[in-house]
Each structure stands twice: as structure tokens, then as C-alpha cells.
Chains A and B, each alone.
Chain A
Amino acid sequence: MKKSIAFLTFSALSLAASMASAQSAGTWLGRLGMTTIAPQVTSGVMTAPSFEGTKSDVSSASQVSGGVTYMYTDNISIDVPLALPFTHKLYGAGALAGAGQIGEVQALPMTAFLQYRFMEADSPFRPYVGIGATYAYFFNAKGGAALTAMTNPGGPTTTISVDSKFTVTPQIGLTYAIDDKLFVDVFYSKTMLQTRNTFSTGQTLDITLDPASYGITIGTKF
């Protein structure tokens, strides 16, 4: 215990001197932490046959996440976040407000960011901006007893499929260098995403998800 405090103290003292090559050109960075994806839902209405004004809502989901970054120059980096699939719950809204969960879908957003990191490579704080190309991959969407009862009573289980989409993701973030290897990264990004739910009973429901993603990770340079 005492030893680790000493280590931290040493780290802080030696910060300025040891930071020389923290995020300089050619460096690889890796990180691990948590990310939350919070859809900012604007639901369209379910096509006929349906209850007038049938809408959907989508829950936030958090997941273990990480990423890998390559410093192309001292300021320009390429970043690929990695994460386990996010499980989002689908809720009834509009005419189905109060129906509770009617399904769920798993999402795996795959993004490659091009980032610009401000300040010098050895600065303790480095804000950055990025723009990402995203493939929002949806899979394993499920309906359930309630959805089936309301769309095809007594029939085969009504399932939902969600279209996967290519889109763009602007991003802002900040890294704080703990020492010459470890750093903390926080980010916020917003993905422009409209997609379509297709029910096995034939209806579709277009929905704007525009998910905001935010997270915190601890990383290291290699």
C-alpha cells in the first residue's frame, strides 16, 4: 500500500520530464473502460396494420469497451474503438406507451475515427476532435409474447429485424496523461443514425436513433 502511494507520488513529480514521447508520431495506444450508448430516439409510426400512433423507444446500454489508437503524426491519429455488443431494450411508445419491453436488439457499432489531437505530444491534457466512419451493426433482434399478442394473437412469434447502416460519427474527447505510459481518456460522440425496424408480420417502423456515446477508459502506450 505504502509502496503504491510512493509510486503515484513519484509519477506526479516526474510528469513533466517523462512525458516527452507520450503521444508522439508512431506511438500505439490501447485502452480499456466502459462505454454507454444512449439513443436519442425520435420514433416514426408503425405502418398498417397497427394501432394508430404505434411507436417505439430504445433504452440506453452500457458495455465494457476499449480501443486502439495509432499516432500518425504528433497531432493526427487513427482510432478504432472496440466493444462487446450492446443490448438495447425496445419499449412500446405512442399507442403502446406503458406496454413495457416488447423486444430487444443487440448493437455493435464499428467505427474508425480520424482524430486531431491538440497541444504538444507531451502535454498532460490533450483535447481532441474526431470524425468517424461507422457501420452500425444490429443483430439478434427479438420480439416476444406481448408483441406477438398485439400483432398476431395466437400466431407464430412476431420478430423484429433492424437494418444495419453506414453512417458518420463526430467525436470530441480529452486525454489526461497520468505518467509517460498511462492515460485516462474521456469522450463523447454522436452518431447520425436512422434505421428501419421490420416486423415479421409485415409492418415497418422507421426510427431515428442518433445515439450519443460516452465513456471513460484507462489506456497505455506501447
Chain B
Amino acid sequence: MRFVKQLALGSIAALLLAACGGGSEQAAKVTYSSVVSFGDSLSDAGTYKVGQIALVGGMFTVNGITGSIGASTAPSYVWPQLLAAAVMGTPSCAARMGFAGVVAPVAGCTNYAQGGSRVTDPNGSGKATGALTEPVVAQIQNFLALPANAGKFKGTELITVQGGANDMFAQADILTAAATAAGNTAGNAAFMPAIISRLAGGAPVGATRTAAQTAITTAVVSAGNQTVPQLIGVAIGAALTHAGSNGYSNAIANAAAGDSGAALVAGATADANAAGALAGAAYANGTGAGIALANMSTAGKELADAVKSIIANGGKKVVVMNIPDASQTPYGVSAGPQQQPLILAMTQSFNARLKTELAGVSGVLFVDVFTENQKQFATPAQFGLSNVTDKVCKVDNVSNPSGSSLFCNPSNVIAGDTSRYLFADGVHPTPYGHKLFAQFVNKELVLAGWL
């Protein structure tokens, strides 16, 4: 009986001990000396938070949401900062700050990502208006060039790399310009033939119309180097002459003579525009698309090469994020059903090459944020997202002339509860969106045994 009492007492004692012993938590499996980040606006911790910009924003998300990390309304931090907060206890900060060509290194800060940066090309998005846009390869060189780093990574850093979106915007711009040029060329070339065909259309169907077409064409060609209005006049004259000498009345030519060719020109312009649009689209979907996709593939390889250079210089743990699904961003959707598939294809071209080039490279953790982003679009509620289509920032507002979330803060956002929206502007996530990305990257780190 005494034995039973003792056991019961033991059990109670254990309970008390257990109740007192709470609070010690599991520590992280792996520790790091710092979190170093390279990339573009998706990783930028506030490169442009200087001068007047600092008064209204400075990061590519909804700026100026205060509060401690982890608060229910996510404060203004980008995902690498949250990653650093999780790994190091404090968020990372911009290593080089400035605007319009003035750059100041910030001691103790290890986030080199800059809004607008491309992979290798120094002329990134917004460079013309003052953004520094040091490309990812230069960011890495800037890290290595610091005297304290002496050209090497220590191997104890957790390094994050992403990029490519600004290369895609550049390729999209190039493609749009080239397609427009191709369309204009085709449209211009189609204009006089359209005038001639429309005038010949006034002749009776058959041999007479064919003969009229030939006669008008011959007249225009032999007129030689004249202005377009003069050539139109020549064509109208030739049509009237052909009608008179062949004994029929050309109503179209008569009307054109009556209104100085106004209706004729309008019709031919429509014909030429249609031909130009067709040619532009054909270029965009054919030759132009081929060039854009090839260039994105090259950019993907260049980013992979940059990652390999980090490894070659002593980096041991590099997290590489691919481009999210840009085609489903407000930017991608507003590009319209013609361009949206191309944006998707460019993204995939970059991502596929990046992944292929990094396959099997030791020390690299490839994080497929593209697929995770697609899940966010497909099932927003799963991620606690209330909206994945609209922009929180009023980017067309006079209070935010930057055209992006760079100048966006709670004073110039849309009305209502936007704390669970995904997008701050056309392409950049809200602080909550960044938190979701950070959680996803952290999950991949945990699964890889890196955290």
C-alpha cells in the first residue's frame, strides 16, 4: 500500500515538475553568420529610401506599415528581411543606398538587392529616372569588394538570390517596339496597294477590273518619287481615265475626286492598319517571341552562372528563387490575352534554364516560388489572401507619381481592408504577400535541413 502511495505521489510530483519546466523551445538546427541577399525589387530592403523618397516610401511594397514582425497586420518588410529575422533575429537592411547615381554603402547591412536590377545588364528598369539598378553580378562583386570580406564568402552565410523579372520587362519592351516597327512597315507598305485596290473596285468585276488595277498601278509606279497625297491624286486620275476610255462609270473614283480622296484614304488606312496589326502580331508571336524567349533563357543561365560564382567564392548555402508567375499579376493581366501567354512563356523560359543550369550544383537550394505563386492565385483562401487581382496602391494618383509602389504608403492606398491583398502594385507583393513568400522559402529551408 505504501508502494501505491509513493507511485501516486511520484506522478503528482512529475506533473508539478512538468508544469514548471515549460518554455524552453526547440532551437534552429542550423545557424548562420548572416543572411546576404542579391536580387531586384522583390528582395530590395530599401535601397532608394533616401532624400525625398524616404518621406513617402522607398521599398517596392506598401511602405510605412509599422508594427513588430509577426503582428497580425504584416509590417513593411520584404521576404529576405523576414528570412533574416527568422534566422538571425533581426531583419536585414539595404547594403547600398542611393538614387540618381549617388551611392552610399551602409555598414553592417547585407541586402544588396536593388529595385529595377537585371541579371547582368546595368541598365535596369527605372535607370533613366534615377534608380541605381546595379545588376545581380555587380551586387555580388560589391559584396566581395568590401575589405572585411576580402573577396570571399565565409561559407557561414545564408545567401539568397533572385532576379530576371526586369530582364523580362526589358524583353517585353524590346518586343513591343520591334513588333510596332514591323507593323508600321507592313502598314505603310500596304497603304498605296489598298488605295489602288479600292479604286479598281469601282470597275466592273472581271477583266475590266483587272485591267483597271494594272492601269492605276502603272500610273502610280511611273509617277515616281512624289508625296503620298500626290500619288493618291495620280491614282484617282488613272482610275477616272480608265473608266472614261473603257465606257463605264467608276463610282469610287468619282466619289474620291469629289471629296479629295478623304473616304478613300480612310478606307485604305483601315486596310493598312489591319495589315500592320497582323504583321505586328505575326512578328510578336514568331520572330520576336523567339528572340525574347531565347534572351530570357540566356538571362536564366546568367543568373545560374552568378550563383555558381558565389559557390566558387566560398558560398556554401545559396537559396535561389525563380520568377513568380508574372502572367497572373495585375501587370500580366492588363497586358491582355495576346501578350499574357508571352509573359508566361518568357517567365517559364527563364525559370526552366535557371533550374537546368543549377541542377545538381552542391550548396544550392532551388525554391520554386513560381508554382507556389500559382497556388496562391488558384486557392487564395488557403493562404489567407482576400484578393489576388487588385492593387492596394493608387499608382496613378498624383500623390504617387512613381508608377509603382515605391512611393506607396497608407496615405495613398485604396479604401477598405487591404491587409490580406497580394499585390501592392502591378507586380510587387504587399507586406502580407512577402510574409507568405518568406514562409514558403523557410518551409523549403526546413525541408532541406537548412533551418
A155, B70: Cβ atoms closer than 8 Å? yes
Task: List 23 A-B pairs, Cβ < 8 Å.
Answer: A28-B1, A30-B4, A48-B383, A49-B384, A68-B8, A82-B7, A82-B8, A84-B10, A85-B15, A85-B18, A92-B446, A96-B443, A102-B26, A139-B18, A140-B21, A144-B25, A145-B25, A145-B28, A149-B87, A151-B439, A153-B438, A153-B442, A154-B91
What are the residues of chain B within 8 A of A157 when measuring CB–CB? 25
Q: Is B394 an interface residue (CB 8 A)?
A: no
> Of residues 207 to 222 in A, which have CB atoms within 8 Å of B's CB atoms?
220, 222
> Of residues 236 to 292 in B, which have CB atoms within 8 Å of A's CB atoms?
none
Q: Is the interface of B mostly helix, strand, loop or mixed?
A: helix
> Of residues 65 to 89 in B, which have CB atoms within 8 Å of A's CB atoms?
68-71, 77, 81-87
A51, B440: Cβ atoms closer than 8 Å? yes
Give complex CA distance A42, B439 in Å: 25
A85, B14: Cβ atoms closer than 8 Å? yes
Q: Is A130 an interface residue (CB 8 A)?
A: no
Q: Which of A66, A85, A95 contacts B7 (CB 8 A)?
A: A66
Q: How far is the CB of B308 from chain A (nearest CB, A)?
A: 26
What are the residues of chain A within 8 A of B19 when measuring CB–CB? 139-140
Give complex CA distance A139, B18 in Å: 8
B25, A30: Cβ atoms closer than 8 Å? no
What are the residues of chain B within 8 A of A102 when measuring CB–CB? 26
Q: Is A123 an interface residue (CB 8 A)?
A: no
Most buried by B among A66, A101, A145: A145
Q: Is A99 an interface residue (CB 8 A)?
A: yes
B70, A154: Cβ atoms closer than 8 Å? yes
B382, A52: Cβ atoms closer than 8 Å? yes
Report the count of interface residues on B (CB-CB < 8 A): 51
B384, A99: Cβ atoms closer than 8 Å? no
Once A28-B1, A50-B382, A156-B70 are accepted as A-B contacts, the answer to whether A148 and B86 lie under 8 Å apart by CB is yes
Give complex CA distance A143, B381 in Å: 24
Nearest-neighbor residue (CB-CB) of B85 within chain A: A154
Nearest-neighbor residue (CB-CB) of A203 within chain B: B384
What are the residues of chain B within 8 A of A154 when measuring CB–CB? 69-70, 77, 81-86, 91, 438
Q: Is A100 an interface residue (CB 8 A)?
A: yes
Q: How far is the CB of B22 from chain A (nearest CB, A)?
A: 5
Q: How far is the CB of A100 from chain B (nearest CB, A)?
A: 7
A149, B18: Cβ atoms closer than 8 Å? no
Give complex CA distance A98, B446 in Å: 8
Q: How far is the CB of A143 from chain B (nearest CB, A)?
A: 7
Q: How far is the CB of B438 from chain A (nearest CB, A)?
A: 4
Q: Which residues of B contact A (CB under 8 A)?
A: 1, 3-4, 7-8, 10-11, 14-15, 18-19, 21-22, 24-29, 68-71, 77, 81-87, 91, 375, 379, 381-385, 435-436, 438-440, 442-443, 445-447, 449, 451
Nearest-neighbor residue (CB-CB) of A30 within chain B: B4
Q: Is A39 an interface residue (CB 8 A)?
A: no
Inter-chain pairs besides A84-B14, A153-B439, A155-B68, 5 sampled, C-beta below 8 Å? A48-B382, A49-B383, A139-B18, A153-B435, A155-B69
Q: Is A152 an interface residue (CB 8 A)?
A: yes
Give complex CA distance A102, B451 in Å: 12
Give complex CA distance A41, B449 in Å: 24
Give complex CA distance A50, B375 in Å: 12
Q: Is A76 an interface residue (CB 8 A)?
A: no
What are the residues of chain B within 8 A of A83 when measuring CB–CB? 11
What are the residues of chain B within 8 A of A48 when measuring CB–CB? 381-384
What are the residues of chain B within 8 A of A49 when measuring CB–CB? 382-385, 436
* Binary contact readout A49-93 vs B (1 if CB under 8 angstroms, 0 otherwise): 111100000000000001010000000000000111100000010
B18, A51: Cβ atoms closer than 8 Å? no
